[in-house]
Homo-oligomer: A and B are copies of this chain.
Amino acid sequence: MKNLALIIATGASLVLPAHAEEPAPIPSPGEIVAAAPASDWIAIAPSDLLVMDMAPDAKGKERRVVIQLMPAPFSRGWITNIRTLAAAHWWDGTSVNRVQDNYVAQWGDATEKKPLPRGLETVAESGYEVDEPSGFTAPGLPLHYQARPSDPSPAKVGGHIVFRDNPGWNYGSFYRGFPYVGAMNPHQSKIWPIHCYGAVGVGRNMSPDTGSGAELYAVIGHATRHLDRNVAVVGRVVSGIEYLSSLPRGTGSLGFYEDEAERVPIRSIRLAGDLPASERPKFEYLSTESGSFARYAEARANRRDPFFNKPAGGADICNIPVPVRPGR
């Protein structure tokens, strides 16, 4: 790998072996992912991919952001609404209106006057959490209530990696490609999706409003975990987050663009399944129920590849991004 070799030889750059191609004595997280068998990768259904095409940038470059919607049982009401909005082409001609540094990029109707399509659900605040279904985790791999606050994290439970959550009384894990958290309470079995980098959530008014799904944001900074259970998480960006995260920051209150000309036009948002087959983006994620993912997560928490001297012994659940690659 020419680039890396140059860096090592001259010593002037920060070397990060996640992308290194030479086999390391102990595999890096990236090498574990690269070695995962095809059977550990899961194709994302076209009905679960939301494709946002922004106007090209000043140099004419296309800007496509692709979002994976969360699986059941999470956030169903909002996700139904988002599919309705996409089918109605409601976002076409709207814009990215707010970019707040180390926080969120937000899009929707800046005029706040565009009529919503018929048939949107009003989702109750109770929808921020869901009951943990029986059989939620892979058969034979009981996951919950097994990570005690006194355990160093991540703990291995039945082949899964279980992360203790900040602030320690909850546990965290992954389900079908998404991080979630549950209460460490045997009398309660609620779980909820969380705000990591790239998470997509639903803007709302003050309680009891929960938002329709028409106003969306993506996290472009440190995980905004204080929003968990306060705002609905509906998915995560699997491609093109850089087209949101590198936008100029808004100078108005909360990072809103003050000048209309600063807004970034959205040409269209569609479900991939509604695009012609030849235009559908395809992505796969590394099954979070696979052994490859468990090894990857463990390696993220305990970096032993050559660059690192001191493995951390644990990792924030939001520092274990779920690997995604183009599909076939």
* Shortest CB distance A171–B (Å): 12
Smallest CB-CB separation from A152: which chain B residue?
A: B167
A319 to B98, CA, bound (A): 21
Q: Hey, which chain B residues are within 8 Å of A108, CB to CB?
A: 12-13
Is A241 engaged at the interface, CB distance under 8 Å to the other chain? yes
Q: How many residues of A contact B (CB 8 A)?
A: 90
A250 to B43, CA, bound (A): 27
A309 to B1, CA, bound (A): 51
When the two chains form their complex, are residues A3 and B223 in contact, meaning their CB atoms are under 8 A apart? no
Is A89 engaged at the interface, CB distance under 8 Å to the other chain? no
Interface centre among A106, A207, A254 (most CB of B within 10 A): A254
* Shortest CB distance A121–B (Å): 16
Interface centre among A100, A167, A204, A246 (most CB of B within 10 A): A167
Smallest CB-CB separation from A13: which chain B residue?
A: B203
When the two chains form their complex, are residues A256 and B167 in contact, meaning their CB atoms are under 8 A apart? no
Query: Among the listed B166, B197, B214, B222, which residue makes an inter-chain contact with A153, where contact means beta carbons less than 8 Å apart?
Result: B166
Q: Hey, which chain B residues are within 8 Å of A221, CB to CB?
A: 197, 221-222, 245
Which of chain A's residues 167-204 have a Cβ closer than 8 Å to chain B? 167-169, 196-198, 201, 203-204
When the two chains form their complex, are residues A306 and B206 in contact, meaning their CB atoms are under 8 A apart? yes
A223 to B256, CA, bound (A): 24
When the two chains form their complex, are residues A10 and B222 in contact, meaning their CB atoms are under 8 A apart? no
* Shortest CB distance A267–B (Å): 20
Smallest CB-CB separation from A203: which chain B residue?
A: B14
Q: Hey, which chain B residues are within 8 Å of A166, CB to CB?
A: 153, 166, 314-316
Report A299-328 CB contacts with B as 1/0, cut-off 8 Å. Answer: 011010011111011111011010000000
Is A40 engaged at the interface, CB distance under 8 Å to the other chain? no
* Shortest CB distance A146–B (Å): 15
Interface centre among A101, A248, A249, A318 (most CB of B within 10 A): A101
Which of chain A's residues 87-120 have a Cβ closer than 8 Å to chain B? 98-104, 106, 108-109, 112
Which of chain A's residues 254-301 have a Cβ closer than 8 Å to chain B? 254, 256, 300-301
Query: Among the listed B8, B101, B206, B300, which residue makes an inter-chain contact with A8, where contact means beta carbons less than 8 Å apart?
Result: B206
When the two chains form their complex, are residues B167 and A223 in contact, meaning their CB atoms are under 8 A apart? no
Query: Among the listed B4, B152, B254, which residue makes an inter-chain contact with A168, where contact means beta carbons less than 8 Å apart?
Result: B152
Is A247 engaged at the interface, CB distance under 8 Å to the other chain? yes
Is A231 engaged at the interface, CB distance under 8 Å to the other chain? yes
Give 13 CB contacts A-B under 8 Å: A8-B205, A12-B112, A13-B106, A149-B149, A153-B168, A168-B314, A222-B318, A224-B319, A225-B316, A226-B300, A226-B319, A230-B303, A230-B310
The residues of A with any CB-CB pair to B shorter than 8 Å are 1, 3-4, 6-8, 10-16, 19, 58, 98-104, 106, 108-109, 112, 125, 128, 149-154, 164, 166-169, 196-198, 201, 203-207, 209, 211, 214-215, 217, 221-226, 228-231, 241-242, 245-249, 252-254, 256, 300-301, 303, 306-310, 312-316, 318-319, 321
In the A-B complex, list the 10 residue pairs whose CB atoms are closest, starting with the nearest. A167-B314, A14-B203, A11-B205, A10-B112, A242-B249, A12-B112, A3-B253, A229-B310, A197-B222, A153-B167
